Amino acid sequence: MSDRAAGPLPPIPLTILTGFLGAGKTTLLNRLVQDPALHDTVVIINEFGEIGLDHLLVETVSDDMILLSAGCLCCTVRGDLIATLEDLLRKRDNGRIGPFRRVIIETTGLADPAPILHAVLYHPYLSMRYAVEGVVTVIDAVNGKGTLDAHVEAVRQAAVAERIVLAKTDLVNDPADLARLRERLHQVNPGATLLDADAPIEAIVAGGLFGLDGKIADVRDWLKAEAVEEAEHRSHAHQHGDHDHHGHHHHDVNRHDASIHAFCLTSDQPIRQGALDTFLDFLRSSQGAKLLRVKGLVALAEDPEHPVVIHGVQHVIHVPAVLPRWPSEDRRSRIVFIVQDLAREPVEKLWNAFVGSPGIDQPDATALADNPLSLRR
Ligand X SMILES: Nc1nc2c(ncn2[C@@H]2O[C@H](COP(=O)(O)OP(=O)(O)OP(=O)(O)O)[C@@H](O)[C@H]2O)c(=O)[nH]1
Q: Which residue is nearest to ligand X (CB)?
A: 26
Residue 290 interacts with ligand X (CB under 6 A): yes or no: no
Closest CA to 78 of 67, 90, 86: 86
Residue 32 or 316 with smaller CB distance to ligand X? 32
Number of residues this chain uses to bind ligand X (CB under 6 A): 15
Q: How far is the CB of 51 from ligand X (least distance, A)?
A: 8
Residue 278 interacts with ligand X (CB under 6 A): yes or no: no
Cβ–Cβ < 8 Å for 323, 139: no
Q: How far apart are CA 195 and CA 299, in angstroms?
A: 32
Cβ–Cβ < 8 Å for 210, 217: yes
Task: Look at the chain and count its residues.
Answer: 377
Applying CB under 6 A, among 114, 148, 197, 365 the residue interacting with ligand X is 197
Interacting stretch for ligand X, rule CB under 6 A, among 14-22, 111-119, 266-274, 354-362?
14-22
Residue 46 or 278 with smaller CB distance to ligand X? 46
Applying CB under 6 A, among 58, 171, 289, 343 the residue interacting with ligand X is 171
φ, ψ at 248 (rounded to 5°): -65, 140
Cβ–Cβ < 8 Å for 309, 296: yes
Residue 18 or 333 with smaller CB distance to ligand X? 18
Residue 142 interacts with ligand X (CB under 6 A): yes or no: no
Q: How far is the CB of 74 from ligand X (least distance, A)?
A: 14
Applying CB under 6 A, among 93, 170, 183, 230 the residue interacting with ligand X is 170
- Report the site for ligand X in 25-44 (rule: CB under 6 A): 25-27
DSSP codes joined into one string, 244-255: -STTPPPPPPPH
Residues that bind ligand X (CB under 6 A): 19, 21-27, 50, 109, 167-168, 170-171, 197
